[in-house]
Structure 1
Amino acid sequence: MSEDTDSGRIEPVRYDEEEKYLLRNPREIRQVLQSLLDRRSLISAYPAPRHHTYPTALIALDEDSGQLLIDGSLQEPVNRIIEQAHHLTCVAQLDRIHIQFRLSQPVRTMIDGQTAFRTAVPEQLLRLQRREFYRLQVPLTQPLTCELPLPRGDGETEPLPLRVLDISGGGVALAVPADRPDFQPFREYDNCYLHLPDADPIPLRLMIRSLFRQVGHNGRETWRAGCQFTALPRGAEVLIQRYIFRMERQRSARERGIA
């Protein structure tokens, strides 16, 4: 069964902004779901309306009944949240393509003594192939930071360095302390600075697009803030893509045993 972990988590995007990437043909939707099932792809599931996420995978796809089985959590409190959810927003990657779909009213069941959830096959599925959504998860051993000017009690601002969880040509996901109530979806921050290795700090403007609560293995609560670049200086996107490509090459080399 799935364990709760931060590795591989991918944030959802808004359906209303990506209408042209939606699949509605039942056969095409089942083909994508079957590929996720065959590869045992990691899925990040977001129960609504709670700000929570848990890693899971598809267990079975029954085309005759139009039902899906999805893995439960090893943690019973998480299973109770799922059981009470109106729906799950599920996010995954398939051949570096962003996959997203919604599962309505999950019903708890048991498979071989383990918790699972049964739900109907989704009626639509987002398959997003735009380049900027190919996200690089930033290694903990080679951290990145992004500074945001946040208000102090005296009305002034001070730069707060936040750890970058992942990065793409379109934005970053940031680890935000739980005690920062000033972080709200669609709030925009000017005069931010992204710190890439071997480069000058990049000035930019960010808009928060999503916020998700997450609890680490040490019990520490943080928020994952998905942020969109709303203004970049000339040449900044090239620097970001160059960094992503370099890190991908290093990762591939390590996997092949070259480095």
Structure 2
Amino acid sequence: MSNQNEHTRVDLIGSDDHDKYLLRGSREIRQILQGLIDGHALVTAQLSPGQQSFLTALIALSDDGNSVLVDASADEHINQRIGSSEKLICMTQLDKIRIQFELQTPAATNHDGHPAFRAAVPDQLFRLQRREFYRLQTPVTHAVSCRIPIPQPDGKKISLETRVIDISAGGVAVVVPPDNVPFSADMEFVDCQLQLPELGTIAVRLRVRNIFRLTNRNGIQMLRAGCEFVDLPRSADNAIQRYIFKVERERSARERGRL
């Protein structure tokens, strides 16, 4: 990936592995969209990250295959906001595969006498197996942090601000100080606060799965703790997926000279 942390990477997906998850072929994207239409899949949509989501569905592809129709909301206030929005962030599943994409500048229209919105078929689409988690190495320029309450022998807790070095829908890897911090496998931390740029703070519960000692380029040692999410709420899962999709889309655009 184009953004690199200053420490040594451990068991992360390679720099080109995002292509395994990010689909760009227009023909395949249309096939997936048609599958969502045929399967009457419910789509969770948002006008922008952090805003309230609503349920909708894809209802048809245009005859030329260049645009897709989305069912309008039963809430007219939401429809007004959709009609004036720059994009619609869509998340759904097809055959147990997580699908996420953005529809640019949706425009109000009608389909078989019912209100709908028309948008161009997306030029890329993110897809992920349910049990497969794409690990995103977080950009140094937009740091992600997680505040973890650490229990003390006297029963009190200290709040430890940790730097997130990679993130997936399944968990995070954080850098923790190597001394005087009780981090070990199978420890569980509740009421952790995951801070995602532009999306705000998300409450998560973490369980430590593994610990690795790292040495950065300056010779300074640190610990990497691989933590999994426990009972992650759907709203938090959606926010994390939006963050991953946003970072990958921006990175892809930079590589293609669009930013």
**Structure-1-length-normalised TM-score:** 0.51
Hey, what does 1:228 align to over in structure 2? Answer: 228
* Percent of residue pairs identical: 47
- Equivalences for 1:8-157 in 2 at 5 Å? 8-10=9-11, 96=20, 130=130, 132-152=132-152, 154-157=154-157
Output the CA distance in 2 between the equivalents of 1:94 and 1:142.
19
Hey, what does 2:189 align to over in structure 1? Answer: 189
Query: Displacement of 1:208 after TM fit?
Result: 0.6
- 2:142 is paired with a residue whose SS is coil
- 2:246 is paired with a residue whose SS is helix
Q: Structure 1 residues 179, 231: closer, same or farther in 2, change over 3 A?
A: same
Hey, what does 1:254 align to over in structure 2? Answer: 254
Query: Displacement of 1:159 after TM fit?
Result: 1.3
| Greater radius of gyration (CA) | 2
Counterpart AA for 2:160: L
Counterpart AA for 1:221: Q
Query: Displacement of 1:198 after TM fit?
Result: 2.4
Q: Structure 1 residues 96, 173: closer, same or farther in 2, change over 3 A?
A: farther
- Equivalences for 1:165-176 in 2 at 5 Å? 165-176=165-176
Q: Structure 1 residues 160, 199: closer, same or farther in 2, change over 3 A?
A: same
Q: Structure 1 residues 145, 183: closer, same or farther in 2, change over 3 A?
A: same
Per-residue Cα deviation, 1:137-168 (whole angstroms, up to 9, x for no partner): 00111100011101346431021110000001
Number of equivalenced pairs = 148
- 2:169 is paired with a residue whose SS is coil
Hey, what does 1:201 align to over in structure 2? Answer: 201
Hey, what does 2:218 align to over in structure 1? Answer: 218
Output the CA distance in 2 between the equivalents of 1:9 and 1:202.
25
Counterpart AA for 1:150: I
- 1:212 is paired with a residue whose SS is strand
Q: Decide whether the 8 Å contact of 1:204 with 1:232 is kept in 2.
A: yes
Q: What value does the CA root-mean-square deviation take over the aligned residues?
A: 2.7
List gaps (5 residues or longer) in structure 1.
Answer: 13-40, 43-91, 98-127
Output the CA distance in 2 between the equivalents of 1:94 and 1:200.
25
Relative contact order, CA 8 A, sep 6+: which one is greater? 2
Output the CA distance in 2 between the equivalents of 1:146 and 1:172.
9
Hey, what does 2:158 align to over in structure 1? Answer: 158
Q: Decide whether the 8 Å contact of 2:137 with 2:167 is kept in 1.
A: yes
Query: Displacement of 1:132 after TM fit?
Result: 4.3
List gaps (5 residues or longer) in structure 2.
Answer: 1-5, 22-127
| Runs of 4 or more above 6 Å deviation | none
